[in-house]
Amino acid sequence: MIRSLLTWAVPGDRSDLGRFDGRRERQVLKALAASGGSFAAQISFTLVALPVAKSTLGTDQFVTYGKLSVVMLWVTTANISTGPYLSLKIPDSLARKSEQGALRAVSAAFAVASVVSLLIGALFIVPGARDLVADVISADSGSLTDLAATADAILIVALAAAAGTTVSVAEAVRLGLQERHIATLWSMAGTIGATIAVLIVSWTQPSLAALVVAALVTPLVGRVSNAVLLWFRHHPNLRPRLHQVRFVESVQVLKTNGLFTAVQISGLLGWPVALILVSKNEAPGIAAGFYVVILLATLAGAFVSALVTPMLPALRDASAVQEVDWLRRGIKAVLGVAMSVAVGFLLLLVFGGPLIGMVFGSDAVPSLPLRVLLGTYFGIMILEFSFYTIALAFLSHTRLAAIILLRGAVSLLLLVLLVPDHGAVGAAVALLVGVGLTSLWSYALMFVHLSRELRGRATSPRTL
């Protein structure tokens, strides 16, 4: 799997490395190398630190932490300030030797991110809003987490999400410059710090708020370091400047990223909703098992994302100069990686029940039907992410986005209908049916478009 990706990234004939100052293959290769270390750090956090936290905090608080972390994942992923805009605009601007255009794009994205961060922080500083969310998250059947402690943890999550929204602009700039490996290394440092912090908290003074700070706030140190280095040392010429912010450019950020953000919201909203509904209708152990599957799926998704996301500006660049052979190799490698991880994840869930029990405890092992259903669902989601990334490279994602939005609405409706009577299995069925009804259409559309693109009928991509 990795070999196929590296073979594509470093082809035999290197006499012409294409545009981007001849860095395309080298930068992709660096990103892949950095991703290996980052993934190892995420494994240690997920499979070492979090199980220790579960054993010291107890199943109830572990499930509450799980709901908070999934909500934060959803909020930070659905970030309208970055999305694909910078990762596509920067390569286009630099290819046209327009550094001014890249600077204006970065400044506009940072301005939008700052406004979004202020809105997130202002919303959850209000005690009433925190109490409302705490009531929804804590209202499980069985034992309840203290509402005041949960409200404090929600405030910490909101402030971390607000800060993360701002620094994510720097990560998008790195991606657009094909310097993903630098951001990945700093993210890896943050993950290692979070692992150490969670272990210290678990062994000294375990509490929900302390766990949230250790697991969700500590990684921000690495991300902030990446932003500081980017804008004050590596590329000060791309540091956001207020006088470079243009209203038209800011509107373009919202326009380009709006649909992408809606897709992210729709695609991931089912996770926190499903976990919250399951925790209200099932025993804490079953809810913990549901969250464990989400954890493992997030780990698998992070692996695919670390390998696939650096390809976005590279595919965009190859499409711009109509390097069809390069595109074929790249698309084949991306889909090969996604398929391998999707199948491997399903097999791990189906046959890995004893292993899950060894790591997270026997009470957190999902039933076999639940593992099969969720394994199939998340496998399809991994494939869908790869298809959507390829579509973004060609700026042809509108129809796919509409299908994913429809999927989100169907899944939410089925979750509300099925979970009260069928619990965790009902939630898995709702998610799987929602994605199953739409993915066949999205795959068909993608294959039709790719065949046209690679036959030269639409090799000149639209500009932002």
Q: Spell out the long-range contacts of 458-462 with Cβ–Cβ below 8 A and sequence spacing 24 or more.
A: 458/394, 458/396, 459/319, 459/322, 459/324, 460/322, 461/316, 461/319, 461/320, 461/394, 461/395, 462/395
pLDDT for 9 beyond 60: no
- Tell me which residue of 167, 95, 142, 150 sits closest to 313, measured CA to CA: 95
Q: Model confidence over 409-434: pLDDT tens digits? A: 888 889 999 999 898 999 999 988 88
Least confident of 20-34, 239-253, 325-339: 20-34
What's the CA gap between 221 and 256, in Å, rounded? Answer: 29
Q: What is the DSSP string of 280-338?
A: HHS-HHHHHHHHHHHHHHHHHHHHHHHHHTTHHHHHHHHHHTT-HHHHHHHHHHHHHHH
Compute the half-sphere exposure of residue 23: CA atoms within 13 Å on the CB side of its CA: 15
Residue 444 CB: number of other CB atoms within 10 A?
11
| Tokens at 387, concatenated | 């298809």
What does pTM read for this prediction? 0.74
What tokens appear for 88 in the block? 């596509």
d(CA 235, CA 248): 24
DSSP label at 367?
P
- The amino acid that residue 418 corresponds to is L
Q: Which residue has the higher pLDDT, 27 or 391?
A: 391
Q: pLDDT tens digits, residue range 210-263?
A: 888 888 888 889 999 999 999 999 999 989 988 888 888 888 787 777 666 776
Direct distance between the N- and C-terminal alpha carbons of the chain, in angstroms, rounded to an integer:
33
- CA separation for the pair 208, 108 (Å, rounded): 37
Q: Are residues 274 and 419 in contact, defined by beta-carbon separation less than 8 angstroms? A: yes
Nearest to 66 by CA among 298, 391, 305, 378: 298
Predicted pLDDT of residue 385:
76
pLDDT-based confidence at residue 396 (cuts at 50, 70, 90)? low
Which residue from 110, 134, 121, 128 is spatially nearest to 75, judged by alpha carbons?
A: 121
- CA distances, 425 to each of 71, 134, 190, 366 (Å): 21, 25, 35, 10
Mean pLDDT score, 152-171: 84
Residue 239 has phi, psi (to 5 degrees) of -70, 130
pLDDT tens digits for 277-322? 888 888 888 888 899 998 888 888 878 877 777 676 667 666 666 6
pLDDT the model gives residue 226: 92
Q: Which of 383, 305, 307, 385 is nearest to 342 (CA)?
A: 383
Measured in degrees and rounded to the nearest 5, phi and psi for residue 460 equal: -100, 100
Cβ pair 340, 1 in contact under 8 A: yes
Largest CA distance in the chain: 66
Q: In the predicted model, what is the mean pLDDT of the chain?
A: 77
Average confidence (pLDDT) over 400-414: 78
Residue 366 has a CB neighbour count (10 Å cut-off) of: 25
Conformational region of residue 38, where left means phi above 0, alpha means psi within -120 to 50, and beta covers everything else: alpha
Contacts of 223 (CB under 8 A, 6+ apart): 164, 167, 168, 170, 171, 183, 186, 187, 190
Say which residue, 290 or 390, is predicted with more confidence: 290
Return d(Cα 456, Cα 433) in angstroms, integer: 36
As a whole number of angstroms, the distance between CA 84 and CA 172 comes to: 8
In order, the DSSP letters of 17-59 are --TTTTTHHHHHHHHHHHHHHHHHHHHHIIIIIHHHHHHHH-H
Whole-angstrom distance, CA of residue 352 vs CA of residue 74: 27
pLDDT at 142 over 80: no
